[in-house]
Chains A and B, each alone.
Chain A
Amino acid sequence: MTRLLDRLDKVASPYLFIAPFFVIFGIFGLFPVGYTAWVSLHAWDISGAQGFVGLDNFVTLFGDPNFWNAIVNTLGMLILSTVPQLVIALILANALNQRMRGLVFYRLGVLAPIVTSVAAVGIVFSQIFDRDAGLVNGMLHLVGVPPIDWHADKWSSWIAISTMVSWRWIGYNALIYLAAMQAVPRDLYEAAEIDGATKARQFWAITVPMIRPAVLFTVIVSTIGGTQLFTEPLIFGQGGFAISGGSLRQFQTVSMYMFEKAFRDFDYGYGSAVAWMIFVLIMLLTLINFLLTRHWGGRA
């Protein structure tokens, strides 16, 4: 009897453990996904669905230069923000994982950006990168550089937005790394120390491999987050038509384009098609990430 219960426990409990997620997701998450797919096959205006059009929305999308422009912008800002963000976070976390004087102060200070909302970050940074009264232009002025209209060019707007994104997320990622680093057994370092390994060597040979699951997690989550980048560029782009991401769509991301089509031009069908393309894009990027990181890791 006990053995039977034991077997039942082993077979059934994994499913019970994951059931809450799948049940609640099934109720509140699955329907929107299916509904979006259905909508993407329809023409739509402000008052609702106006008939089945098959794959028309997708066909139009593939020939839509604004869509491809948004894809390029999204990938550009993704790379510009994710790579420095993760590298800096890793270095910071390692620095914060030492024993030293003032540790609590440093940790609190560096992780502080976590508590700010995107909206607050957006407002503050759009003032910092202001053309006429911004801090950055003010400092450039001191060294004789003429003011930059940060909104006008791709490169400048990408830099401004990526700075905003990185500033907010470095703390997040550093925190994840730090938590993971604390699960690394201390004696590994002590042994390495006895063997005469340098700090840098310890970092690459012990710390990074030991926190690989955390690194993999941050790479995937930042990629997903970066591909869905929305609020920061929206707040950065100012005025009534901010959703277009600049006068020539210099910094419009795919999420912004989706929102513009669905909720500004009231073409919800087309917007849903964009949403599905974003989904496919993220899938591809995640797959690439998986393959790259698997190769990098080799063995644990």
Chain B
Amino acid sequence: MRLRGRRAPLAIGVCALLVAATACGGADGSEEPGRTTLVVKTFSQFGYQDLYKQYESSHPGIKIKEENIGKLGDYTPKLQQWMASGSGAGDVVALEEGILIQFMARPDKFVNLLDHGASSLQGDFLEWKWKQGLTSDGAKLVGLGTDVGAQGMCYRTDLFAKAGLPTDRDQVGALWPTWDAYLATGQRFMTARTGASFFDSSGSVYLNMLMQLSDHTYYDTANNLVIDTNPAVKAAWDKTVQMIQAGLSGNIAAYSPQWNAGFKNGRFATIPCPSWMLGTIEKQSGPENAGRWDVAKVPGNGAVRGGSFLAVPTQSKHQREAAELVKFLTSPLGQMAAFKAVNNFPSSPKAIDEPAVRNFTNAYFNDAPVGKIFGDSVKALKPVYLGPDNNPVNDRVTNALTAIEQGKLSPEAAWANAVAEAKRVAG
């Protein structure tokens, strides 16, 4: 028996490896003397690369590092973990609308931007966008707005032609002054049997109607859950159910692979499209479908979904510098640059009225004057109050609508289900 193994070097190797593993460093951590590095946390796309360069050259002491996470669904757990551990949130964090609303009850986690001279900027923002980031007593400003989900109705001209409908965007917009007219157009479209459905799935149509119908949705301004007493919610629901029963929905879940493929294959003829979605549609549909998509005005008067904010967490060690950066990035100039880079539509009236935005057209969508269409949609918008658990509640309502589309529940049973689920999550 050989007791002295020839593998002794291996054991030494293991130990060396363990030591090395604990010692081998990451990518960052070193700070150049005399220079402050500001870490900006974002998700998806904010289109700030050029703005960072601009800011660095005008502020020699500042270096900016963006840490981006592609999907919002991956970003929010990280945000939560940074908040719980008191570390990692960097100096500037991007907050999606629904997340900001949740944080408004705990403004102490963020620097009050009013302390950093933001009060003079109020005129730079749409009034409701400004108010969303402000505590109800008006004492603390948690975040400054970046973009808004200005809304248009994207449609396939080839499918419309096939169904004998007009294809010109003004005529198309005239087809649906109201959602009832949109429903009637859909029924006309479906009788032509093009093989496509009229819209992808009911969730976004429903939300668009809801946001137009009232100044609040699932919560009243005292943050009581009013899903089953607010007539606007039921009205939007009933109209959506009518559309489902008329066979307009393709039951293709948003952001699913089928949905992505559906843009290219022409599986649905219309889709309510926020400004940022234009990029999605262009990439998913591919060059071979150039000119087949167009943008018309949305039924009803204006509608807005989503949009984001920038905030400075109190755990930042460079709060003053970070607040200055936030002011720069959310300025009309910054918002215009982001719009040009990634289609994020400005929340600043000044930027919206700038010719560069106002006259902006999109070549992929038959040169549609998207700057004007989206600008008008934003201007027509009435502010809507959203309560703390607005997004989770809306997710559940959308699920209930899907259950109707799948034929799993009757509309009545689905409504009861949505209300019960909403009470559970908001309770």
Given a CB threshold of 8 Å, the question of whether A touches B is answered with yes
Rounded to whole angstroms, the CA-CA distance of A239 and B398 in the bound complex is 11
Residue-wise interface mask of B (244-260) relative to A, using a CB-CB cutoff of 8 A (1 in contact, 0 not): 00000001011111110
CB pair A47 B257 closer than 8 Å: no
Which 10 A/B pairs are nearest by Cβ-Cβ distance?
A239-B253, A238-B256, A247-B402, A47-B106, A152-B406, A247-B403, A263-B77, A241-B395, A46-B102, A247-B399
Using known A-B contacts A152-B408, A268-B80, determine if residue A241 contacts B256 with beta carbons closer than 8 Å. Answer: no
CB pair B254 A130 closer than 8 Å: no
Rounded to whole angstroms, the CA-CA distance of A238 and B109 in the bound complex is 33
CB pair B392 A248 closer than 8 Å: no
Using known A-B contacts A45-B102, A263-B80, determine if residue A240 contacts B399 with beta carbons closer than 8 Å. Answer: no
Determine the chain A residues whose CB is within 8 A of the CB of B251 once the complex forms.
149
Determine the chain A residues whose CB is within 8 A of the CB of B389 once the complex forms.
265
CB pair A64 B106 closer than 8 Å: no
B83 in contact (CB, < 8 A) = yes
Question: Would you call the interface of chain A mostly helix, strand, loop, or mixed?
Answer: loop
CB pair A240 B254 closer than 8 Å: yes
A163 in contact (CB, < 8 A) = no
Determine the chain A residues whose CB is within 8 A of the CB of B407 once the complex forms.
152
Rounded to whole angstroms, the CA-CA distance of A266 and B73 in the bound complex is 12
Tell me the A111-141 residues at the B interface (CB within 8 Å).
Answer: 123, 126-127, 130-133
Rounded to whole angstroms, the CA-CA distance of A123 and B255 in the bound complex is 14
B103 in contact (CB, < 8 A) = yes
Tell me the A231-258 residues at the B interface (CB within 8 Å).
Answer: 238-241, 244, 247-248
Q: Which of B102, B253, B261, B408 contacts A248 (CB 8 A)?
A: B408
B190 in contact (CB, < 8 A) = no
Rounded to whole angstroms, the CA-CA distance of A153 and B399 in the bound complex is 14
Rounded to whole angstroms, the CA-CA distance of A275 and B425 in the bound complex is 18
CB pair B257 A126 closer than 8 Å: yes
Determine the chain A residues whose CB is within 8 A of the CB of B398 once the complex forms.
241
CB pair A239 B259 closer than 8 Å: yes
Determine the chain B residues whose CB is within 8 A of the CB of A153 once the complex forms.
408
What are 13 A-B contacts with C-beta separation under 8 Å? A45-B105, A47-B109, A48-B106, A123-B257, A130-B257, A131-B258, A132-B258, A132-B267, A238-B255, A238-B258, A240-B73, A241-B395, A244-B399
The count of A-to-B residue pairs whose CB atoms sit within 8 angstroms is: 81
CB pair A244 B258 closer than 8 Å: no
Using known A-B contacts A152-B408, A247-B408, A248-B403, determine if residue A48 contacts B84 with beta carbons closer than 8 Å. Answer: yes
B361 in contact (CB, < 8 A) = no
CB pair B83 A127 closer than 8 Å: no
Closest to B85 in A: A48
B76 in contact (CB, < 8 A) = yes
CB pair B76 A263 closer than 8 Å: yes
Using known A-B contacts A45-B106, A132-B258, A238-B255, determine if residue A265 contacts B399 with beta carbons closer than 8 Å. Answer: no
Q: How far is the CB of B294 from chain A (nearest CB, A)?
A: 25
Determine the chain A residues whose CB is within 8 A of the CB of B73 once the complex forms.
240
Q: How far is the CB of A30 from chain B (nearest CB, A)?
A: 18
Rounded to whole angstroms, the CA-CA distance of A149 and B258 in the bound complex is 13
Rounded to whole angstroms, the CA-CA distance of A126 and B260 in the bound complex is 14
Residue-wise interface mask of B (389-427) relative to A, using a CB-CB cutoff of 8 A (1 in contact, 0 not): 100100110111011001111000000010001001100
CB pair B395 A46 closer than 8 Å: no
Using known A-B contacts A263-B80, A264-B392, determine if residue A130 contacts B258 with beta carbons closer than 8 Å. Answer: yes
Q: Which of A47, A149, A152, A244 contacts B395 (CB 8 A)?
A: A244
Rounded to whole angstroms, the CA-CA distance of A64 and B109 in the bound complex is 31
Q: Assuming A46-B103, A47-B83, A131-B258, what are 4 further A-B pairs, CB within 8 angstroms? A: A45-B102, A152-B406, A248-B408, A265-B389
Q: How far is the CB of B155 from chain A (nearest CB, A)?
A: 21
Q: How far is the CB of A167 from chain B (nearest CB, A)?
A: 19
Rounded to whole angstroms, the CA-CA distance of A46 and B251 in the bound complex is 32
Residue-wise interface mask of B (361-404) relative to A, using a CB-CB cutoff of 8 A (1 in contact, 0 not): 00000000000000000000000000001001001101110110
CB pair B255 A240 closer than 8 Å: yes
Q: Which of B106, B267, B417, B421 contacts A46 (CB 8 A)?
A: B106
Q: How far is the CB of B388 from chain A (nearest CB, A)?
A: 9
B333 in contact (CB, < 8 A) = no
Q: Which of B102, B108, B253 contacts A238 (CB 8 A)?
A: B253
Of listed A47, A66, A133, A153, residue having the most chain B CB within 10 A: A47
Of listed A66, A149, A151, A247, residue having the most chain B CB within 10 A: A247
Q: How far is the CB of A126 from chain B (nearest CB, A)?
A: 7
Determine the chain A residues whose CB is within 8 A of the CB of B395 once the complex forms.
240-241, 244
Of listed A66, A133, A248, residue having the most chain B CB within 10 A: A248
Rounded to whole angstroms, the CA-CA distance of A112 and B23 in the bound complex is 35
Determine the chain A residues whose CB is within 8 A of the CB of B259 once the complex forms.
239
CB pair B256 A239 closer than 8 Å: yes
Q: How far is the CB of B21 from chain A (nearest CB, A)?
A: 12
Determine the chain B residues whose CB is within 8 A of the CB of A46 once the complex forms.
80, 83, 99, 102-103, 106
Determine the chain A residues whose CB is within 8 A of the CB of B80 once the complex forms.
46, 263, 266, 268
Q: How far is the CB of A275 from chain B (nearest CB, A)?
A: 15
Rounded to whole angstroms, the CA-CA distance of A126 and B80 in the bound complex is 30
